[in-house]
């Protein structure tokens, strides 16, 4: 039973220590999302952000755990680090120097990590400047400003505080990865996306009690989310297994190879990276429009508002595009074919070398298309469901994909610890594979 598996977690000293350490880091993160920046009028800020629900800033606030709406030191969150990591990962395929570093093993990875941190500071400084300008420009309907004393000193302290907050979050994420459970950055995003769920659920119950939402509609939406969650888990776990045969090799007096295995190609190799990257790109026009007081920029901002059909169409297309692009970066068919040939492996019925590369590329393209379309649908449709039913689960699709992906990854690591110490896994039937299979 799963309850027995959960009980086994606390019998393993190392696993119990890792989980408690991770929970402690999450607590520190949650405290940081409530520490305000200096020079902020909290009442005016709360009033303004009530009107920003459903806008680009409301969307960004989901990923910062509500820190942006509180103007906290974690207001830009961990997103600058994610953006820097994605940029460096994409550059490794085009910049020869970075490509060489990636192939140099541990030393090369350390150098790339160092460059990622430098780029994170730059991205955080740019986003911090945008946040500082945005806060200075905002006033309530009564004319009360968020920043009572704007100026160079406020700009400086805000930017430095936000950069420091991002770097501290990056360090917390690294500590979770090294000493806790799960990928640290993913766990921090996971904790941030859950911030407003209790309040949204309570507000929905209040609407139900007031009669604004009928019980039938509420049960329908609840059943829909259960089914969608099950579908996301199924698609995330789905694999296309390509059979691999290794030829026998004689090295000295020993015979190597001769066994059969398979190459697992997951439908969701890129995880939530395409969604995060697509949102980051679509946030750019609205962010620029909020900083530039021009009529045509206001028009552009309305076009790229999350409530418009234009935004959702572009969002879906970008998710599909980045799903293909990122997968081609992390799983290069040519490299896979070269590695198979190097170790005398081959796909039955397919010639080694370029033919194998073409075959793998063709299979990946076929399984990625329905996968990326499915995730684009999940990211967008809950917005329309919320609009039709008046039930307020903001950006439920994107949040759901993040929660399911990170939860599977954490469960995968917990199950690996349990099995390694001769306990049964969390599930008696099947195994948890997580994002990367």
pLDDT digits (tens, 9 = 90+) for 228-243: 888 888 888 888 888 8
DSSP 180: S
Q: Which residues contact 411 (CB under 8 A, 6 or more apart)?
A: 426, 432, 434
Residue 115 falls inside a structural domain: yes
Whether 300 has a pLDDT exceeding 70, the answer reads no
What's the pTM value of the predicted model, to 2 decimals? 0.77
Q: How many whole angstroms separate alpha carbon 268 and alpha carbon 364?
A: 11
What tokens appear for 170 in the block? 């990056």
Residue 7 falls inside a structural domain: yes
φ, ψ of residue 261 to 5 degrees: the values are: -145, -160
Q: How many whole angstroms separate alpha carbon 134 and alpha carbon 128?
A: 10
For residue 267, the number of C-alpha atoms closer than 13 Å in the C-beta half-sphere is 18
Beta carbons of 129 and 288 less than 8 angstroms apart: no
DSSP 11: T
CATH of the domain at 137: 1.10.3370.10
Nearest partner of 380 among 401, 349, 355, judged by Cα: 401
Domain containing 105: what range? 1-195
**Residue 295: which H helix or E strand, with range?**
helix 295-303
Confidence of residue 193 (pLDDT cuts 50, 70, 90): confident
Q: Kindly report the three-state secondary structure assignment for every residue of 223-292.
A: HHHHHHHHHHHHHHHCEEEEEEEECCEEECCEEECCCEEEEEEECCCCCCHHHHHHHHHHHHHHHHHHHC
Beta carbons of 415 and 421 less than 8 angstroms apart: no
Residue 329 falls inside a structural domain: no
What tokens appear for 168 in the block? 């501290």
Nearest partner of 173 among 159, 163, 187, judged by Cα: 187
Give the chain's domain count.
1
Over range 86-93, report the average pLDDT: 79
Place of tokens 């990962």: 89
Residue 14 falls inside a structural domain: yes
Q: How many whole angstroms separate alpha carbon 390 and alpha carbon 310?
A: 22
Residue 394 falls inside a structural domain: no
- Class of residue 140 by CB neighbours under 10 A (exposed 0-12, middle 13-18, buried 19+): middle
Is the alpha carbon torsion for 403, 405, 409, 414 positive or negative?
Answer: positive
Residue 391 falls inside a structural domain: no
Residue 307 falls inside a structural domain: no
Q: Which residues contact 297 (CB under 8 A, 6 or more apart)?
A: 288, 289
Residue 431: per-residue pLDDT: 53
Over range 146-163, report the average pLDDT: 89
Residue 25: per-residue pLDDT: 93
pLDDT digits (tens, 9 = 90+) for 374-404: 888 888 877 777 777 766 555 456 777 788 8
Residue 187 falls inside a structural domain: yes
What tokens appear for 95 in the block? 């910049």
Q: Which residue has better confidence, 200 or 5?
A: 200
pLDDT digits (tens, 9 = 90+) for 242-291: 888 877 666 666 666 567 788 888 887 777 778 777 876 776 666 666 55
pLDDT digits (tens, 9 = 90+) for 306-360: 667 778 888 888 888 888 888 877 777 888 888 888 877 788 888 888 888 888 8
Beta carbons of 378 and 228 less than 8 angstroms apart: yes
Confidence of residue 189 (pLDDT cuts 50, 70, 90): confident
Residue 437: per-residue pLDDT: 39
């Amino acid at each position: 039973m799963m309850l027995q598996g959960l009980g086994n977690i606390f019998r393993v000293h190392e696993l119990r220590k890792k989980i408690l350490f991770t929970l402690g880091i999450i607590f520190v993160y949650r405290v940081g999302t409530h520490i305000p920046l200096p020079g902020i009028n909290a009442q005016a800020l709360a009033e303004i952000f009530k009107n920003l629900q459903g806008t680009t800033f409301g969307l960004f606030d989901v990923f910062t755990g509500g820190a942006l709406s509180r103007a906290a030191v974690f207001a830009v969150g961990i997103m600058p680090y994610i953006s820097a990591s994605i940029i460096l990962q994409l550059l490794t395929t085009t910049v020869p120097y970075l490509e060489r570093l990636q192939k140099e093993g541990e030393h090369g990875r350390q150098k790339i990590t160092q460059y990622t941190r430098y780029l994170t500071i730059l991205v955080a400084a740019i986003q911090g400047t945008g946040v500082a300008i945005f806060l200075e420009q905002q006033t309530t309907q009564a004319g009360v400003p968020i920043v009572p004393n704007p100026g160079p000193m406020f700009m400086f302290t805000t930017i430095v505080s936000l950069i420091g907050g991002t770097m501290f979050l990056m360090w917390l994420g690294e500590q979770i990865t090294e000493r806790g459970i799960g990928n640290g950055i993913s766990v921090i995003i996971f904790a941030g996306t859950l911030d407003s769920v209790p309040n949204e659920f309570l507000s929905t119950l209040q609407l139900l009690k007031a009669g604004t939402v009928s019980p039938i509609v509420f049960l329908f939406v609840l059943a829909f989310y259960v089914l969608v969650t099950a579908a996301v888990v199924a698609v995330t776990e789905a694999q296309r297994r390509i059979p691999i045969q290794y030829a026998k090799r004689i090295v000295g007096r020993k015979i190597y190879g001769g066994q059969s295995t398979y190459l697992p190609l997951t439908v969701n190799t890129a995880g939530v990276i395409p969604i995060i990257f697509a949102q980051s790109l679509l946030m750019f026009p609205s962010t620029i429009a909020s900083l530039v007081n021009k009529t045509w920029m206001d028009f552009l901002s309305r076009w790229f508002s999350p409530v418009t059909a234009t935004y959702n169409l572009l969002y879906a297309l970008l998710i599909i595009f980045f799903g293909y692009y990122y997968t081609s970066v992390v799983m290069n068919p040519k490299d896979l074919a070269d590695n198979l040939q190097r170790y005398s492996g081959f796909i039955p019925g397919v010639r080694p070398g370029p033919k194998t590369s073409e075959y793998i590329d063709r299979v990946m393209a076929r399984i990625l298309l329905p996968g990326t379309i499915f995730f684009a649908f999940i990211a967008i449709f809950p917005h329309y469901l919320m609009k039709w039913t008046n039930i307020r689960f903001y950006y439920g699709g994107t949040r759901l994909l993040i929660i399911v992906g990170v939860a599977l990854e954490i469960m995968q690591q917990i199950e690996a610890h349990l099995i390694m110490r001769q306990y049964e896994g969390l599930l008696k039937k099947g195994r948890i594979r997580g994002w990367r299979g």
